[in-house]
Amino acid sequence: MALPSESVSPSRQAPRGRAIVVGVVLAVFIGIALPYNELIIKGSRLGLSSCTPAAFFLLFVWLLLVNPLLRVLRRSWALRRSELLVVFAMTMVATAIPTRGVTSVMLPMISGAHYYAAPENQWGRLVLPHMPDWLVVSGQEGLRQFYEGMPRGASPVWHIWVMPLAYWFLFLGGLWLAVVCLMAILRRQWVERERLTFPVMHVPLAMVEKADDHWVPPFFRNRLMWFGFGVPFLFGTLSALHHYFPGFPAPFEQMPSLRLMGGAIHIPFRLNLLMLGFAYLVDARVSLSLWFFYIARVVIEGFLSTVGVGSAREQLGYWTYPGRIGHIFTHQSMGAMIALVAFSIWASREHLRDVFRQAIRPRDDDPTREMIGYRWAVLGLACGWGIMTGWLWRAGLPWWIAPLVVAAAFVIFISMTRAIVEGGVATIVPAMIPCGFTLSAFGTDALGIPGLVAMGFSLVWCGDLLTFMMAPTAHAARVASDLKAGRNRIFVGILLAMGVSLVVSVVFTIVLALQHGAGNLHSQYFQQFARFPAEIATMKIRNPTGPSGVGWMWTGVGAAVMSLLTLASYRWAWWPLGGIGYVVSPAWIMGSLWFPFFVASIGKSAVLKFGGIDVYRRSRWFIYGMILGQIVVAGVWLLIDIGTGTTGNRIRVY
């Protein structure tokens, strides 16, 4: 059986419409199950990662339980491989919405300004007059019901949500349309020309291989896979039992860390088996750069902090990380992302030329079938950008800054997506987000008070980014490459899954809030995140700043360093460091990810040196099992927790 990274013939049969129906049903399930778990059960967070663990778990259950049962009832009822791929793509994008991806960030942020306004914070004088009525939810009784729970016998107040949600759905629709069309344009370049590894997709593609010919796919009959599966399943079970019975040992609960120079240098050691598995599947140069640049950044930052070298700390809001010596490294990371996207465009110039040529004069006899025709993809991308830009301008941003904010967001999205599909960093966040970049680059005077308010609300769609839509959409494009025909079904399916998951999760989350009180369900979402937009605007209104020349300088340094790393990688085959590690090195989450990449790089090098390529290929089955086992054990214990009514039992999957 061929591995997914090797030559595998695409499915020749086009997926039927029933695959989209199944995907929509599962999107509804995801839109209900993930908020219920996050807000009520508080168990393993299968939606809090751009690798979308919930989609993996549902595919596992379908292949081992549902599809065999359908074959027993009637052979034709079982989903074929092409249909399984469409369903998986739909569940991936659906998973990226219900909790921290969109819903549990959007609802508190668009309602918190009016609910938490008080004489002490002066939002009523400084911020609220500059918020368009359609941008936020207002209404004292309705907000009280949402945050504190609906009194017995009272009728729910729904009308206050209608207009703001309609406008936010419009913006998200434009964003996701642009993302899907962009990935449709880049699919051929990334998958067929650059042959990016897409480590996250190795396991699902292997799971469905030859699913048409067997009751249970061959993947599940591989003993080495089950050995790998058993390792995280055992450790995860011990961790779960420790929650039920504190006497049970819980491996990896307490991990050591190294502190040097009086604590100025802090290097944590955390072994995550899921990330270790993904790290084993990436190129050695990429893996080396990911842990090397993180360690280098921590050491340099600690040293400069100790000797007192640094710049004045900018106040750029939440999720743009200041570090110990100001924003030197975050600005460098932004510059590196700009350079990464610029070089990607240059490397794709021939493909992009073909795209626009076919967009102007489409050829009906083109043998290459895409998710959507290039003409429609280009028009969809332009339409999505236009909706976003016009919406931001109406929200208060100056007309010339709005398109720059959208461009900055897509630079970040593309860079983080490249880190995932090329570097195997299945969960990653940027060191700087569009809000921080805009505040630093242009200053408060250029934005004005309405612009500052609008930038605060950009955190709804481009803030935390632990889960963001472009990553699962890129994985869906990789799935489309394994379909010989019917790739347009994936395009239709993922748009439907996005819309269904958004509407269902929003309605269900509001219902839970009305029943229990949002402030009682999740303090981080509904007490902290709810205040962020107004707090950022208030901070900058009280302390106005101009454009940061130092910030622009460090952004230029980051772009220059990234350019040199990229040119060295292209020119010298022996050059050991790729640029992805430099891009993501300041991200806070790398403190949890660098060690798995360090261990994987050593282990993979040893296997290749002493066993050769054949041993490495066989060893990947163990790794596939380890990746799947970490997700499945979290899902299994989540079901057990729901059955027993246990809360707070979390097995980490990122």
User: What pLDDT sits at residue 290?
Assistant: 95
- For 441-541, strand residue ranges (E) read none
Mean pLDDT of all residues in 85-111: 96
User: What pLDDT sits at residue 626?
Assistant: 97
The answer on pLDDT for 319 being more than 70 is yes
Q: What is the 3-state secondary structure (H, E, C) of 552-584?
A: HHHHHHHHHHHHHHHHHHHHCCCCCCCCHHHHH
Q: Interior CA angle at 395 toward 185 and 429, to 5°?
A: 50
| CA–CA gap between residue 52 and residue 166 (Å, rounded) | 26
| CA–CA gap between residue 499 and residue 35 (Å, rounded) | 16
Q: Where are the alpha helices (DSSP H) in 245-373?
A: 273-280, 284-307, 328-347, 349-360
> Can you name the residues that pair with 268 across neighbouring β-strands?
257
The answer on pLDDT for 195 being more than 80 is yes
Q: For the segment 375-431, what is each residue's pLDDT rounded down to a tens digit?
A: 999 999 999 999 999 999 999 999 999 999 999 999 999 999 999 999 999 899 999
User: What pLDDT sits at residue 315?
Assistant: 85
Name the band, by pLDDT with cuts 50, 70 and 90, for residue 264.
confident
Q: Is 463 helix (H, G, I), strand (E, B) or coil?
A: coil
Q: With contact defined as beta carbons under 8 Å apart, do 331 and 405 qualify?
A: no
Burial of 545 (0-12, 13-18, 19+ CB in 10 A): middle
User: What pLDDT sits at residue 455?
Assistant: 96
Q: Residues near 564 by Cβ (< 8 Å), separated by ≥ 6? A: none
User: What pLDDT sits at residue 69?
Assistant: 93
Q: For the segment 343-357, what is each residue's pLDDT rounded down to a tens digit?
A: 999 999 999 999 988
Greatest CA separation for the chain: 73
Residue among 199, 212, 271 at smallest CA distance from 85? 212
Number of helices (H) and strands (E), helices first, in the chain? 27, 2
Q: What is the 3-state secondary structure (H, E, C) of 224-241?
A: HHHHHHHHHHHHHHHHHH
**Cα dihedral 201, 593, 552, 343 sign:** negative
User: Which amino acid, 565?
Assistant: L
| CA–CA gap between residue 241 and residue 237 (Å, rounded) | 6
| CA–CA gap between residue 142 and residue 231 (Å, rounded) | 49
Query: The whole model's pTM is what?
Result: 0.95
The answer on pLDDT for 327 being more than 90 is no
Q: For the segment 539-591, what is each residue's pLDDT rounded down to a tens digit?
A: 999 999 999 998 999 999 999 999 999 999 988 888 999 899 999 999 999 99
Q: Is 289 helix (H, G, I), strand (E, B) or coil?
A: helix
Cα 155 off chain centre by: 37
User: What pLDDT sits at residue 367?
Assistant: 43
Q: With contact defined as beta carbons under 8 Å apart, do 288 and 602 qualify?
A: no
Residue among 539, 559, 556 at smallest CA distance from 548? 556
Residue among 460, 488, 590, 475 at smallest CA distance from 4? 475
Q: With contact defined as beta carbons under 8 Å apart, do 594 and 279 qualify?
A: no
User: What pLDDT sits at residue 365?
Assistant: 47
Residue among 95, 107, 91 at smallest CA distance from 48? 95
Q: For the segment 465-508, what is each residue's pLDDT rounded down to a tens digit?
A: 999 999 999 999 999 888 876 678 899 999 999 999 999 999 99
User: What pLDDT sits at residue 13?
Assistant: 59
Name the band, by pLDDT with cuts 50, 70 and 90, for residue 295.
very high
DSSP string over 576-613:
---SHHHHHTT-TTHHHHHHHHHHHHHHHHHHHHHTHH
Name the band, by pLDDT with cuts 50, 70 and 90, for residue 358.
confident
| CA–CA gap between residue 556 and residue 335 (Å, rounded) | 6
Residue among 544, 535, 545 at smallest CA distance from 123? 535
Tokens, residue 301? 């930052």
Name the band, by pLDDT with cuts 50, 70 and 90, for residue 304.
confident
User: What pLDDT sits at residue 14?
Assistant: 55
Name the band, by pLDDT with cuts 50, 70 and 90, for residue 152.
confident
Q: Which residue has the higher pLDDT, 249 or 435?
A: 435
User: What pLDDT sits at residue 485?
Assistant: 65
| CA–CA gap between residue 178 and residue 184 (Å, rounded) | 10
Mean pLDDT of all residues in 311-335: 82
**Cα dihedral 265, 271, 275, 281 sign:** positive
Please name the residue that has the structure tokens 């990380």: 321
The answer on pLDDT for 630 being more than 70 is yes
Burial of 287 (0-12, 13-18, 19+ CB in 10 A): buried
Tokens, residue 619? 């060893």
The answer on pLDDT for 609 being more than 60 is yes
Left (φ > 0), alpha (ψ -120 to 50) or beta: where does 42 sit?
left
User: Which amino acid, 140?
Assistant: Q
| CA–CA gap between residue 587 and residue 263 (Å, rounded) | 19
Rounded to the nearest integer, the mean pLDDT of the chain is: 91
Q: With contact defined as beta carbons under 8 Å apart, do 160 and 135 qualify?
A: no
| CA–CA gap between residue 46 and residue 380 (Å, rounded) | 31
Q: With contact defined as beta carbons under 8 Å apart, do 223 and 618 qualify?
A: no
Mean pLDDT of all residues in 618-624: 96
| CA–CA gap between residue 181 and residue 376 (Å, rounded) | 8
Q: Interior CA angle at 284 toward 281 and 289, to 5°?
A: 115
Q: Is 257 helix (H, G, I), strand (E, B) or coil?
A: strand
The answer on pLDDT for 4 being more than 60 is no
Q: With contact defined as beta carbons under 8 Å apart, do 44 and 649 qualify?
A: yes
Residue among 77, 11, 26, 12 at smallest CA distance from 215? 77
| CA–CA gap between residue 609 and residue 507 (Å, rounded) | 55
Tokens, residue 362? 């489409």
Q: Is 50 helix (H, G, I), strand (E, B) or coil?
A: coil
| CA–CA gap between residue 46 and residue 203 (Å, rounded) | 17
The answer on pLDDT for 368 being more than 80 is no
Residue among 33, 84, 2 at smallest CA distance from 617? 2
